[in-house]
Structure 1
């Protein structure tokens, strides 16, 4: 009986040790959709198979409620180990000293050296430390219709703003055709910001003393550029009200030859246009030889409160590996993060070329919107949209709208600075 008792005790001890050794990681997904969640589950399952004893619990938050729900979880002590971190939230959590600096992990990672320079730069945008590894980019580049350009006698895609204007003019001389799918309605802020920055040669939103740069003389030239596109008839008349669906339809229907958009527009366009009829080029550069395409991204971060930092890092590394990231990028619709990804047959096409050139070329500097301003959403959705439409229709000058925008943004920046 003593032997049996000892055996039972030993077995209980082993079971207790095994249970104690098991690790559960909490991963929170915040940009949720059925497709994305299934892709995430697949990559996580491979990680679990390669890491016996580690289980990953995935919590998927609806995007519309994700910011508040995550904040509530964190403030209540229910902090995940790993979180899907949008670029617009990074400053909040990194600034609160809540995230692990991943630089040392990246330095010792087999795939750290293959992360693109812009991937690392974006991950380090808060305080210069890698508080996240981005998993892909929503980056503006220029779609162009090869047939329309050829028909208009445009020999090659435009590389500069002047060439872009000239090519748009040439296409607009064709019956019923236009150069540019202008987004004059909802969501058009990116276009105005990009053009102003490109003509100004800088994507800095504020001066050292906190004044908006949107009404500087060369920024005003960028605003005037879009106004000229519309008022000279190089964009459809009804494009003053166009949003995302309208500009994408305007391109794939052959109404206009140029469209600046993120990779998510490619899905609808590729379904409706033969691949040989269109391609994607980098945004045209301005007088300073630079262009400033807007960029959005999200990635993986680790909270400092984790009790399992090494396991959490291994999970982030698995999610960020070249193979996993390629799968994620193709299924979700983002530009991948590793050098050489553009050699994958899926991405090695004219339809992806422009985005990779922007990510790898010095002439293109990604622009991150100042979403840290409390009223930025109101500004883009209301103030900018309404006054931009007035400018397109000729009831306000470029200088007038630029001054209006600068006053609003300068005031918002002052409020934000005071709250820091």
Structure 2
């Protein structure tokens, strides 16, 4: 679910991708000393620093290989990457979003890892989640999962206590597409206007809200609300893509989907959550200042909330369905090898080391900026952070209980995001009504077929 910034730039690369195939000639990354430099890119400054901690041990074990890690801002990253495919000087390996698997693999820009995996007898079972999402339609493995991410409820403990709620109350919340369940009831009660009236009390004034019960849920940056409201639907047995792998249609006009999205919009219209783009400050600042009582945030924010000065923040699982079960989407970024690299063997050595328990443990413990995909490394990070007072039990329980499901993989991701984003924005800003959803569904069917 760590894609809120990433999805905003997907559209910038859609046009470039159509001109990429067949343009690679492979850049030279050797030097006069006879050593080989492996270039690796990421859009995450935190992970760039974290993985830099693995470089000394790798270069000591492989003195003929040097590693250069480069971080580009997410707003430029994919444009630079696809331009590199065209000019033939893309990095040897790079961090990637599964959104681009179809485009890059379909155009021959990614090197399949199967031969390397077999040669080195790599046990894919060590990865807790994410490997299946990086298999292309040809059945080949094109990346190993680097991390995983999903969501949780972060809440201002003092504000919830004043409203009469305990930590157990938050952990036991549920949601349904019918009426929003106990989650919606809590959001309304936590909302307070300038006169001290709560959202579920007579006389509440939505025009003078002092504290919103929940941060905004009206994400527009991807085709199925992964960054905000999308997690609600699977918990009630609702799925927008008709298949988890290579969907043929997005069921936007399903009555339960329409009802769910309408509930989210009504929550903002009635003053219980801020409206889309109302706040420009980070979620953590909204919680710390008391502007909102709770937010839906990502796994990567856990350490930030734990270290928030002056505010006690609790962490709870995202509300379950009415039956108490969860099905939470998780996003696993992948480590791809560029098919145009002149040094694939040396690059594989670096990538396979990155994907080892030793490196993932070292990197994740350095700044706790990501949850490692290897279960043993995740345990090491959890133990370290527990000693520092950061509670990761919610996230580990997700894994242990089998509540995580991979994000859907589908064709034409960049173009679909480009097409659906303005339509969701129009809906959530009350410039369009539910009549747009049949059109969006038909449009998705056409675009998913075009991307094959």
TM over 0.5: same fold? Answer: yes
- Please point out which of 191, 194, 197 is paired with 2:228: 191
Alignment length (residue pairs): 389
In 2, Cα distance between the equivalents of 1:209 and 1:267?
A: 35
> What is the match of residue 286 of structure 1?
321
Q: Do the aligned partners of 1:79 and 1:303 also contact (CA within 8 Å) in 2?
A: yes
Q: Do the aligned partners of 2:231 and 2:329 also contact (CA within 8 Å) in 1?
A: yes
- Please point out which of 149, 168, 181 is paired with 2:215: 181
Shift of 1:136: 1.6
Shift of 1:307: 5.3
Whether 2:183 is the aligned partner of 1:164: answer: yes
- Please point out which of 409, 414, 417 is paired with 2:446: 414
Secondary structure in 2 aligned to 1:131? coil
Shift of 1:264: 4.3
In 2, Cα distance between the equivalents of 1:381 and 1:44?
A: 39
Q: Given the two structures, how large is their TM-score scaled by the length of structure 2?
A: 0.72
In 2, Cα distance between the equivalents of 1:268 and 1:181?
A: 17
> What is the match of residue 261 of structure 1?
297
Superposed CA offset, 1:348-378 (max 9, x none): 4664333333344323324348683444444
> What is the match of residue 41 of structure 2?
29
In 1, Cα distance between the equivalents of 2:148 and 2:160?
A: 28
In 2, Cα distance between the equivalents of 1:77 and 1:233?
A: 52
Superposed CA offset, 1:80-104 (max 9, x none): 4322223222222222344333356
Greater shift after overlay, 293-302 or 103-112? 103-112
In 1, Cα distance between the equivalents of 2:174 and 2:416?
A: 29
For residues 71 and 211 of structure 1, do their structure 2 counterparts lie closer, same or farther at Cα, with a shift above 3 Å needed? closer
Shift of 1:382: 2.6
Shift of 1:260: 0.7
Superposed CA offset, 1:302-344 (max 9, x none): 2345455443222112212223223433537222211131353
Secondary structure in 2 aligned to 1:314? helix
> What is the match of residue 205 of structure 2?
none
> What is the match of residue 201 of structure 1?
238
Q: Do the aligned partners of 2:247 and 2:410 also contact (CA within 8 Å) in 1?
A: no
Q: Do the aligned partners of 2:186 and 2:213 also contact (CA within 8 Å) in 1?
A: yes
Shift of 1:245: 2.3
Q: Do the aligned partners of 1:280 and 1:353 also contact (CA within 8 Å) in 2?
A: no
Shift of 1:177: 4.1
Structure 1 unaligned spans of 5+: 1-18
Secondary structure in 2 aligned to 1:346? helix
Greater shift after overlay, 79-88 or 43-52? 79-88
Whether 2:268 is the aligned partner of 1:216: answer: no
In 1, Cα distance between the equivalents of 2:233 and 2:149?
A: 20
Whether 2:386 is the aligned partner of 1:367: answer: no
> What is the match of residue 89 of structure 2?
78
Report which of the two has the higher share of helix: 1
Shift of 1:384: 0.9
